[in-house]
Amino acid sequence: MKVNWNSKYNTITAYSLIVIFSSILFYFFASQIGSYSAKVGYLISIMYPFIIGFVLAYLLNFILKFYEERILVNIKYFNKLKQSKKRLISILLTYLTFGIMIYLCIHFVLPQLTESIVGIVNQIPHYMEIASKMTQDIIKDFDISDQMATFLNDKLNEISTRLIAFISEIVPLIANIIMSLLSSIWNIVLGLIISVYLLLDKEQFYAMSKKMVSAIFNKKTADRILELTHRSNNTFGRFISGKIIDSAIIGVISFILFAIAKMPYVVLISVIIGVTNVIPFFGPFIGAVPCFILILFESPTKALIFLILIFLIQQLDGNVIGPKILGNSIGISAFWILFAILVAGEIFGLVGMVIGVPLFAVIYSIIKENVEYKLREKNLPTDTKDYM
């Protein structure tokens, strides 16, 4: 019997069956989501060394390219070697540089950080006494009502209770972090080994990926995928490498200025300023606020000097160092940078705040290209100014 699909009742029946079937599939998937999550987590745990290896290879590739394209290429003896030997020498220099950086951090920075953190923990009761005295002085000087005074005292006691609870939990927390690192040492070692192989034959891995894409998709789609991959790599590479170099320079400048100004916890606050500077837009504020509070308890005068120095450092970074290193690697306005950080940070946390900007820049460029292509098809102008 031939089905008349144009009939209203047959169409309703078909759509109803599709909706019912889709609902059953959704219910089945939702009821089994716990087992799927467990399987995904197990799969990620298996792939963990490869994830570490890929991340290390991607980050260390910038150092490798620096040696191959900037340093060793100027040596005549190096240019006479075979490509395999050139790559081996470059990888040895790359991992030697990486090892020296890790050693310097562990030998010089880590002890200072530990000492500063322990000192802060021991000083917390003293800080709370100072805060209590400051609160009482404010209540007396400004003749605050009893209700407001009670509210301030209650909030101060609440903060004190939370700090004491944090102090009691900090030792087990540090122990758990150390145990997690120790349990991950084997994965880290495997990741290092995998990263060496990835860097050693990175051109071959790229060629294999290109071969697979060309086999699966038609030429037009394959070229588009490869172009987007190349664009994403350039955007992420320039942004991440530039931000790391920029933040390292800011950290060193901060250390020098804070040491000259004789700030307390010089190494700790310099590291905080340098690390949080990796986060665009919000980074300087995220790093400066806790550092300012720490210094304020030690000396209000030095806290004010700290704010002035941070303002000068950020002006130097925003107007000189940042543009010189990063250039126009992102290509989106400040509004979209803020949008990308907030959305990606909400979804992926701290990692999202770092990678959100280059990720959005890639998506933005794809949307922009498609919009301009549609406009050209309609013989309309593509410049945004023409629509103002």
What pLDDT digit, counting tens, does each position of 217-262 carry?
888 888 888 888 888 888 888 888 888 888 888 989 999 999 998 8
Measured between alpha carbons, how far is 321 from 134 in angstroms, rounded to an integer? 39
275 in any annotated domain: no
How much is the average pLDDT of 48-64?
Answer: 89
Residue 169: give the domain boundaries.
Answer: 32-200
318 in any annotated domain: no
- Higher-pLDDT residue of 27, 325: 325
pLDDT at position 206: 87
Please count the structural domains in the chain: 1
- Higher-pLDDT residue of 276, 179: 276
Mean pLDDT is lowest, of 34-38, 49-53, 97-101, 140-144, for 34-38
Residue 343 CA, chain-centre distance (Å), reads 13
163 in any annotated domain: yes
242 in any annotated domain: no
pLDDT digits (tens, 9 = 90+) for 194-203: 999 999 988 8
Task: Using alpha carbons only, give the angle 29, 363, 243 rounded to the nearest 5 degrees.
Answer: 110
Long-range contacts of 255-260 (CB under 8 A, 24+ apart): 257/309, 257/313, 258/306, 258/309
47 in any annotated domain: yes
Measured between alpha carbons, how far is 388 from 384 in angstroms, rounded to an integer? 7
124 in any annotated domain: yes
Measured between alpha carbons, how far is 75 from 250 in angstroms, rounded to an integer? 32
152 in any annotated domain: yes
How much is the average pLDDT of 357-385?
Answer: 83
- Higher-pLDDT residue of 59, 157: 59
Measured between alpha carbons, how far is 292 from 221 in angstroms, rounded to an integer? 53
**Which helix (H) or strand (E) is 213 found in, with range?**
helix 202-216
Instruction: Match 């169409």 to its residue by tokens.
Output: 11
Are 88 and 232 within 8 A, CB to CB? no
Instruction: Match 């003749």 to its residue by tokens.
Output: 143
pTM: 0.69
Query: What token pair was written down for 37?
Result: 């999550």
114 in any annotated domain: yes
